Amino acid sequence: MPATKHLPKTFLWGFATAAFQIEGSTDVDGRGKSIWDDFCRSPGTTLDGKNGDVATDSYKRWKDDIALLRQYGAKAYRFSISWPRIIPLGGRNDPVNPKGIEFYSDFIDELIANGIVPFATLYHWDLPQNLHDRYGGWLNKDEITKDFVRYSRVCFESFGDRVKHWITINEPWCVSVLGYGRGVFAPGRSMCPAKSSDGDSSTEPWIVASHTILSHALAVQLYRNEFKPTQGGVIGITLNGDMAIPYDDSPENSSAAQHALDFAIGWYADPIYLGYYPEYMKQVLGDRLPEFTSEEWTVVKGSSDFYGMNTYTTNLCKAGGHDEFQGFVDYTFTRPDGTQLGTQAHCAWLQTHPTGFRQLLNYLYKKYKTPIYVTENGFAVMNETKMPIDQAVNDTDRIEYFRGNCEALLAAITEDGVDIRSYFAWSLLDNFEWADGYTTRFGVTYVDYETQKRYPKESGKFVSKWFMERLSSGKEILSPTPSVAPLLNGRQLH
Ligand code: PNW
């Protein structure tokens, strides 16, 4: 058997979460409301009618979460900071909440004390509700850019002495398309009458996108000018995007695959890394695609130190679709011969396909020529929520997903020469899966929402072992600290 290939010593691996999906405690210690608070309370917005008031109770159980990370031996943890905890009313002249600062400050200290690198996201979809009410939130360029920059400044000042890896905005595609196009995410604006009576899906998503890009870029400019010289960290954006491959070898379906990549990824990545919008988007959208001024372009182009990559699946692409947000491309997992691309997850949009993951890593590196941090990758096992716990923790399909993608990641690094610096599995815990409520479980740790007890799934142990074995100086799996032992209800990693 050939010797096991190794990852670079500095490679960061671990697990990811987001504030609104795990914290709960939405009305304590001075937190303001976010756009998700009321959105998910309104009927029909979440599959199970549930909200984020408790979630995994991580605002209270954060020490247990860190103990769990330590038990898995994670080298890094990707979490997000809740803007309405830091600045409850959100705006640049609104007061900062000392309790919010204290919470994340203590959290970061505890991560570091446990040898875990903090990887912080500034915006994972929880806009302060007040900014939405006051001026339309992401729709208002002058206001939102200034308020986002001020919020970012507060975070750099408060945590930048210890946080050396910053992500500005998580998945702006979801913010635009799901929040202002399809209306399935907060703030739920859409022209789809079933979803909302407010909003213009033909213009708002494109406008919001340009404001998220600009806000990101201005926050990076601030960091580079005023903080990076002394704090010395890296900062970038995280984009979602799945590999797109042609359904068959017809020329129109080959173009369709590129069109899908242009609308899902190029929309954000081309401006940020290359300094222009994809030609195909300009063609389709005409003057609905907002232009940046030349001054704005100089801020936008080159505004990310790395490519933050969230990816879950691969789509087979057919020309002639009717969905503008997908670039008029139809997606399918069924090949021309009737077979499936991979194993079906609980969510309709997700199947396993490690080859596509490796292709996407190569595509992004070749096109954008920047180091890649894989910031999310994960799988929801079909019907896991209906299983008894001892069955759910035996999550074979999730293990196979991680095995395939981790091997593909290693091959991309060692055989294809792609510069990849991190891998974060989504997610540390089952949690509030947005419009799916709690019906879809992405965790490597099972959460019993009745008791809030955590049970490591086999996939969590798998990821942990896989990375330990491939890091030349991998740490041993640490024995559980006393605070975590009862939490695991007698289950141990080994
Ligand atoms: C990401 N889609 O969202 C988010 O960053 C996480 O907060 C989320 O829990 C995770 O993926 C799993 O869904 C996505 O419709 C939401 O293709 C929707 C899609 C993809 C990613």
Q: Which atom of ligand 1 is nearest to the CA of 238?
A: 5
The pair of three-digit structure tokens given for residue 264, joined into one six-digit string: 């899902």
- Residue type present at position 94: D
Q: Give the three-state DSSP class for 411.
A: helix
- CA–CA separation, 435 and 188 (whole Å): 11
Q: Considering the entire predicted model, what is its pTM?
A: 0.95
CB of 303 closer than 8 Å to CB of 317? no
Q: What is the pLDDT of residues 371-382, one digit of tens each?
A: 999 999 999 999
Which pLDDT score is estimated for 1? Answer: 52
Nearest protein CA to atom 2 of ligand 1, as residue: 349
Q: Which residues contact 56 (CB under 8 A, 6 or more apart)?
A: 21, 22, 24, 429, 430, 431, 432, 447, 452
Higher pLDDT, 487 or 295: 295
pLDDT of residue 344: 98
pLDDT band at 477 (very low <50, low <70, confident <90, very high): very low
| Angstrom distance (rounded) from CA 201 to CA 282 | 17
Residue of minimum CA distance from atom 21 in ligand 1:
240
pLDDT tens-place string over residues 242-276: 999 999 999 999 999 999 999 999 999 999 999 99
Mean pLDDT, rounded, for 392-397: 98
Residues 165-188, mean pLDDT to the nearest whole number? 98
Query: Do residues 140 and 210 touch, judged by C-beta distance below 8 A?
Result: no
pLDDT at residue 110, as a whole number? 98
Q: What is the pLDDT of residue 235?
A: 99
For residue 5, the model assigns a pLDDT of 81
Give me the pLDDT at residue 193, please. Answer: 76
Distance CA 246, CA 260 (A): 10
Class of domain 12-244+257-313+348-492: alpha beta
Q: What is the C-alpha separation between 178 and 201, in angstroms, rounded?
A: 10
Strand pairing report for 453-456 and 445-448: antiparallel
Reply yes or no on whether the pLDDT at 368 is more than 60: yes
Mutate to test the pocket of ligand 1, among 123, 124, 126, 171 (most ligand atoms within 8 A of CB): 171
CA of 370 to the centre of ligand 1 (A): 23
The pLDDT of residue 182 is: 96
List, chain by chain if needed, residues with CB within 6 Å of any ligand 1 atom.
18, 21, 170-171, 174, 240, 310, 312, 349, 376, 426, 433, 442
Write the DSSP symbol of residue 224: I
- Give the residue numbers marked as catalytic: 376
Q: What is the pLDDT of residue 486?
A: 36
Would you give the DSSP letter of residue 177? I
Nearest residue (by CA) to ligand 1, atom 13, is: 433
Domain range list for the chain:
12-244+257-313+348-492
Per-residue pLDDT, averaged over 14-42, amounts to: 98
C-alpha–C-alpha distance, residues 26 and 19, integer Å: 10
HSE-up of residue 359 (Cα within 13 Å, Cβ side): 16
Atom of ligand 1 nearest to the CA of 349: 17
For residue 139 the two structure tokens come to 């729709």
- 467 three-class SS: helix
- Phi, psi for residue 332 in degrees, rounded to 5: -150, 160
The pLDDT value given to residue 2: 61
pLDDT number for residue 328: 98
| 232 beta partners | none
